[in-house]
Structure 1
Amino acid sequence: MSLRLRLFLTYSLAVIVTLSLAALGSTILLRGYADRLALESLQDTARPISVQIVSLVRGGTTVTELVENLQEQADTNQVTIFFVGRTGSVLRQIAPADQGPISVAQGSFPQGITQATTGEFVADSGEAFLYAAYPLGQAPQQLIKAQQLVVAIPQPKIGAIVSGLIRPFFWAGIIALAGSLILALLLARSVSRPVKEVILAADTIAGGDYKYRIKSREPGDIGNLARSFDRMADKVEAYQLKLQHFVADISHELKSPLTAIQGFSQALIDGTAADDTTRNKAALVINNESRRLRHQIDELLDLSRLQSGQFQMQFSKCDMTEILQQSIDLLSIAAADKSITMKLTAESGLWIQGDAERLEQVFNNLLDNAVKNSPSFSEVRIEARNTDKKIITSVIDEGPGIHPDHLERVFDRFYQINGLRTGVGLGLAISKEIVLAHQGSIEAKSKPGTGAEFLVSLPGIDPP
């Protein structure tokens, strides 16, 4: 079942239930409204009768005339008139000629009332009646026991009321239902259309068109969904582009040593390397390029494990100054070959919780890049300090620097900086993942011609 059909059916069901509840509520309200109207009409009829009784008490008319007049009003207004005694018993009843008297149980009417009152009672036959009662005060001698006058009418039957309204209600309901279903159809279409656009975009991108975007202007959650999808598509396109570049870069990086290995091994096979010197040179090249290839593969595996969270760090309390000094000692020979001085300036008590071996790998990479990109007879400075419980370490060289356009990408895999600085391969990418695994950060600062500065920030701990 499609989303559009499900929405339409849901809206339709909600409309039908709402109309049914409205009809039920209207019926209940009509019952109370009908009773109020009936009581108001009953009071309008009963008041003149009570006035006539008062006039009889004052001698304005005879009992015979009163009874005849009351019988006429009972027939005309279709009401039943009761004269009720002190105990609530019916002393006399005047009923419409076409209805006959009503059998009423004793106690159905109120006793000792001092003002007009209304209510309802049920006759012995089970029929419900509404009544209006008035106190008589001083009654005539013929009705000496009568204390109150009660005028009653049958309670309006809700069925009769509804039957009179069922036709207009029916057509009003049909019109409302038709209009609601049309509105439901439009709403279902308005909701399903953006969802279909998202589905189309997903299928298109899955088919390889990574540039497809929805570009929705819909408000609300549906619009937010489409815009979130576009942002996801942007990232998918960026990752796909990175993957393409990565495949191209890894192919290039691995192709160079493989080409050398293949060429020199072929020379050994076909006899081109005829003398011992040539054969030894070929074997040395094959050995060196094999190590280079192995090193690149190991770096790729390390980077993959780091980025997937599968690499296990061995955390312990580490002295940052000691880690830096070990990296300096390791790169001292390469620095000496270029007459480069490495100067360490570190505060005391610089301790962190981390993997010393992996952190040494980070600073080995940074110092190796600094030495490679620094001119001869220059200086590489390593500065470490504690700032707000953060151990900030800077590696500063005097090389050609990095152009601002390249700063954000120096930590990408195999990103090559052509011209001023040498390519950095996987070293900085691995360094970044190691630092992130230590809950730290790494960044590069530079201006062309002024050298480069790499800053590593790691959480510090109290010295042991």
Structure 2
Amino acid sequence: MIFITAMTLLTLALVWGVITYALVPQYNRTIRGKLESKADAIVAMIDQSDTPIANRDFGVLVLNSDFWKKVGDTFLNKTINVDGCCVDFSDTTLRCLKAYESMYPCLLHESTGAFGGEFVTNVNTALVIQMRQKLFQNGSLYEIVHSSSSQQMLVGHLSADGQYGVIVSASLAQISTAAEVLRSILIPLAVLLLVLDLLVAILFSRWFTRPIERLSAGAQEIASGNYDVQISVIHHDEIGRLAEDFNHMASEVKRSAQLEKDILANVSHDLRTPLTLIKGYAETVRDLTGTDEEKRTEQCNIIVDETDRLSALVNSVLELSKVQNGSEKPNLIDFDMSELCFEVAGRYDALCDQNHWTLQLEADHAAPVHADPAMMERVLHNLLGNAFHHIGADGVVILRVVPLEQGCRVEVADHGPGIPPEDLPHLFDRYYRARQDAGKTGTGLGLSITKAILQQHGFAFGVDSAVGQGSTFWFTMNDTRIQPNP
């Protein structure tokens, strides 16, 4: 509102300044230009005349009738429009040859008359003689003359031979009056505009700030812990798009908050169970089975297994935290991804022999890449561990490397139960477990760590799955010199 009021006052001040300081000078320049063009045209007629336009025979003025008839016709048919102007012709004697008067009152030629009689014009007043003298002395004339009630602009030119002078003049009273009228109405106009601007500003501010107030209230609700806030989108303009973005943010904050609660609950549960077992078996060994070597060994093995489980969970949480917060930076070097996959696959020989599984490696061609091999090894272990966790009845897991023009595509496929479509968008979230995984062992952070590593490298990744047909997790190392994401 203050801004609109200030802009209105500034605009009015600018208009006042234009009226006061620019309107009259610009008008005068325009009038002078028109009078200059008229004077030039009339002088051109004199210069083009083959015979003198007038003679003084022993003091008696003799006019060239043909020339003056031509001048009169030119003025009459407005080839040279002198309406509202006074045209004065003179010679070197400073006396008038002829005057054409289309302006009243004229300050150069005094006009007198009586009621019912004819007007008489004095074409040799002291003022006009003075102006003729300036014209013949200087070769040109530009003057503004004043009286108590009017002012008049004069422009004068000489003929080419310097024998004749032409003065064309016009009244300037109208522009002065107009400027005074404009200044007189400017104050009430300013008051009216200020009132209208205030009304418009109030209405506009209410219309503009209402959605912002709703956004502010929604932000306060989220700050207080209510993540179910949704702002109604009324207009599809910039504010409407802001409301849509706010709603999306609120949904993501709600999902993130729920995920954090789930993580806390799941981690707490996973910590509580091994801790309870460790404590229980440690007390049993201490109080009951300390002398029974067989039972003591069995219970100590359980304690060691549960300790390993605790360590794996803590290490996974720490690993995910380091990768996500950027404290662990990729060490990018050139290496062959097919060779790395061959090395990683060899470490699963014992597991496959023990469970009668098959890890089918399809990496027959070299695949040069630029990445951190240690991090890529972690990604392969996580994906292979997940695949063996969901291995199908055929006991087959496939590790495939497909060379591309730059880089390669790595796939880990199983023939297990597959993943329902509603679970696919959330598989890489921290501690998310698909419904068929409920109750299974594992930290639930392997795919989250995989996601964080691949995002650091800027690699695309995803999963293709159909229920009952298995799943294929993939990532594309699409540039041998790609820079990691910050």
* TM-score normalised by length of structure 2: 0.70
The farther-off stretch of 160-169 and 448-457 is 160-169
In the other structure, the counterpart of 2:304 is: 287
For 1:15 and 1:343, the matched residues in 2 are separated by: 79
Return closer, same or farther for 1:333/1:165 CA change in 2, 3 Å cut-off. closer
For 2:121 and 2:329, the matched residues in 1 are separated by: 99
Give, in angstroms, the shift of residue 293 of structure 1: 0.6
Give, in angstroms, the shift of residue 297 of structure 1: 0.6
For 2:429 and 2:164, the matched residues in 1 are separated by: 106
* TM-score normalised by length of structure 1: 0.73
Q: Which amino acid aligns with 1:29?
A: L
Give the alignment partner of residue 10 of structure 1, picking from 3, 6, 14: 3
For 2:307 and 2:316, the matched residues in 1 are separated by: 14
Give, in angstroms, the shift of residue 132 of structure 1: 7.7
Q: Which amino acid aligns with 1:349?
A: A
Give, in angstroms, the shift of residue 16 of structure 1: 0.6
Give, in angstroms, the shift of residue 151 of structure 1: 9.5
Q: Which amino acid aligns with 2:454?
A: V
For 2:16 and 2:406, the matched residues in 1 are separated by: 72
Give, in angstroms, the shift of residue 352 of structure 1: 1.6
- SS of 1:344's equivalent in the other structure is strand
User: Given that residues 87 and 168 in structure 2 are in contact (C-alpha distance below 8 angstroms), is that contact kept between their aligned partners in structure 1?
Assistant: no
Give, in angstroms, the shift of residue 208 of structure 1: 0.8
User: Given that residues 82 and 150 in structure 1 are in contact (C-alpha distance below 8 angstroms), is that contact kept between their aligned partners in structure 2?
Assistant: no
Q: Which amino acid aligns with 1:438?
A: H
In the other structure, the counterpart of 2:230 is: 213
Give, in angstroms, the shift of residue 459 of structure 1: 3.3
Give, in angstroms, the shift of residue 300 of structure 1: 0.6
- SS of 2:347's equivalent in the other structure is helix
The Cα offsets for residues 279-334 of structure 1, whole Å up to 9 and x where unpaired, read as 33332222221121111111111111111222122222222232222222222111
Give the alignment partner of residue 429 of structure 1, picking from 448, 451, 467: 448
In the other structure, the counterpart of 2:23 is: 29
User: Given that residues 386 and 460 in structure 1 are in contact (C-alpha distance below 8 angstroms), is that contact kept between their aligned partners in structure 2?
Assistant: no
In the other structure, the counterpart of 2:143 is: 120
Give, in angstroms, the shift of residue 49 of structure 1: 12
For 1:242 and 1:304, the matched residues in 2 are separated by: 15
For 1:72 and 1:350, the matched residues in 2 are separated by: 114
For 1:365 and 1:457, the matched residues in 2 are separated by: 16
In the other structure, the counterpart of 1:446 is: 465
Give, in angstroms, the shift of residue 453 of structure 1: 2.0
Q: Which amino acid aligns with 2:461?
A: I
In the other structure, the counterpart of 1:419 is: 436
Give, in angstroms, the shift of residue 17 of structure 1: 0.8
Return closer, same or farther for 1:342/1:106 CA change in 2, 3 Å cut-off. same
Equivalences for 1:326-341 in 2 at 5 Å? Answer: 326-341=343-358
Give the alignment partner of residue 379 of structure 2, picking from 351, 354, 362: 362
Return closer, same or farther for 1:377/1:273 CA change in 2, 3 Å cut-off. farther
Q: Which amino acid aligns with 1:24?
A: G
Q: Does 1:19 align with 2:12?
A: yes
Q: How many equivalent pairs are there?
A: 408
User: Given that residues 111 and 121 in structure 2 are in contact (C-alpha distance below 8 angstroms), is that contact kept between their aligned partners in structure 1?
Assistant: no
Give, in angstroms, the shift of residue 254 of structure 1: 1.8
The sequence identity of aligned pairs, in percent, is 24
- SS of 1:408's equivalent in the other structure is helix
Contiguous gaps of at least 5 residues in structure 1: 1-7, 57-67, 74-78, 84-91, 94-100, 136-145
Q: Which amino acid aligns with 1:450?
A: Q
Q: Does 1:301 align with 2:295?
A: no
Q: Does 1:407 align with 2:424?
A: yes
- SS of 1:130's equivalent in the other structure is strand
In the other structure, the counterpart of 1:261 is: 278
- SS of 1:416's equivalent in the other structure is coil
Return closer, same or farther for 1:371/1:228 CA change in 2, 3 Å cut-off. closer
For 1:260 and 1:18, the matched residues in 2 are separated by: 82
In the other structure, the counterpart of 1:225 is: 242
In the other structure, the counterpart of 2:44 is: none
In the other structure, the counterpart of 2:329 is: 312
- SS of 2:153's equivalent in the other structure is strand
For 1:153 and 1:388, the matched residues in 2 are separated by: 85
RMSD of the TM alignment (CA)?
A: 4.4
Q: Which amino acid aligns with 2:340?
A: I
- SS of 1:210's equivalent in the other structure is coil
Give, in angstroms, the shift of residue 48 of structure 1: 11
Q: Which amino acid aligns with 1:290?
A: T
For 1:121 and 1:329, the matched residues in 2 are separated by: 107
- SS of 2:279's equivalent in the other structure is helix
- SS of 1:405's equivalent in the other structure is coil
For 1:387 and 1:252, the matched residues in 2 are separated by: 44
Equivalences for 1:34-433 in 2 at 5 Å? Answer: 44=84, 46=86, 70-72=111-113, 83=124, 92-93=125-126, 107-109=133-135, 119-121=142-144, 129-131=152-154, 156=173, 162-163=179-180, 166-271=183-288, 275-375=292-392, 378-419=395-436, 422=440, 425-433=444-452
For 1:380 and 1:434, the matched residues in 2 are separated by: 23
For 1:24 and 1:329, the matched residues in 2 are separated by: 89
Give, in angstroms, the shift of residue 338 of structure 1: 1.4
For 2:412 and 2:223, the matched residues in 1 are separated by: 44
The Cα offsets for residues 87-135 of structure 1, whole Å up to 9 and x where unpaired, read as xxxxx52xxxxxxx8995884446799xxx9952468xxx975348799
The farther-off stretch of 416-425 and 199-208 is 416-425
The Cα offsets for residues 415-441 of structure 1, whole Å up to 9 and x where unpaired, read as 223437956621222122223333323
The farther-off stretch of 161-170 and 423-432 is 161-170
For 1:311 and 1:203, the matched residues in 2 are separated by: 36
Q: Which amino acid aligns with 1:14?
A: M
User: Given that residues 443 and 454 in structure 1 are in contact (C-alpha distance below 8 angstroms), is that contact kept between their aligned partners in structure 2?
Assistant: yes
